[in-house]
Amino acid sequence: MEERLQKILAAAGIASRREAEKIITAGRVRVNGKIVTELGSKYDPSSVKISVDGNPIKAETKVYYMFYKPRGVVTTMSDPQNRRSIADFVQDLGERVFPVGRLDYNTEGLLLLTNDGALAQALMHPSHEVNKTYLVKVPGIVPQEKLDMLRVGVKLDDGMTAPAVVNLRSYEHEHNFTLFDITIHEGRNRQVRRMCDAIGYPVRDLKRVKMGPITLSNIGRGKFRELTDGELAALMKAAKL
């Protein structure tokens, strides 16, 4: 199957797609021995020989990891403010990976890491409505009518949210907090936090525990592990690949 040259380079782990475009326009890429500088050029990587700076590229082995992101870590591979990022945890992995979606700085929990751009794009596409479940802790005893507002949908500054699935875990009367989980399929910025703000109960602690069919399990905070064959198959099915 033919693909854009910059996508082929990115899939081979040469650089990000944006950086690959710069490499191409700089005249550093040859296809079957001929320099190619057109960004729109398409090729079947299995039927041509592509090199960068004279070095042949080879297809990158696809890898899939579950990562337990701690609080106080940004979901990027670098940070201009020198905060801890995902890269600090995977620098010895040996393979290029990137996170599927984001968790905000103060949210912990499940992140998927991969170098499979097609899977990542499919999982994040709004039409696929891949569910994400969070464990939420808020101060105060939240009445059922407030939780029902989340179940129906609440109005945010960027519009109404879709109905969420909300399950009450417990009321802690002695320490005055409520624990519940919420499942959404939208991907708005800081959505769960803003939804809780909208009902008058700001989040104290937030943890993503599930993404699609994948549940955070058998892993410590700040650690990662490869997905099992069963987990990967279920993820591919959820992504409709």
Q: Which is the catalytic residue, given 53, 88, 92, 104? A: 104
Determine contact, residues 210/220, Cβ cutoff 8 Å: no
- At residue 191, φ and ψ (nearest 5 deg) are -65, -50
Alpha carbon 206 to chain centroid, angstroms: 16
Judge whether 104 counts as a catalytic residue: yes
CA–CA dist 213, 235 (Å, integer): 6
Residue 90: which of 231, 223, 226, 228 has the closest Cα? 223
- At residue 7, φ and ψ (nearest 5 deg) are -70, -40
Q: Write out the two tokens for 18.
A: 């944006």
What's the one-letter identity of residue 208?
Answer: R
The DSSP annotation for 94-121 comes to SS--EESS---TT-EEEEEEES-HHHHH
The DSSP annotation for 199-234 comes to TT---SEEEEEEETTEE--S--TT-EEEPPHHHHHH
Determine contact, residues 100/120, Cβ cutoff 8 Å: yes
Sequence-separated (6 or more) residues with CB below 8 Å from residue 233: none
| Residues labelled as active-site residues | 104
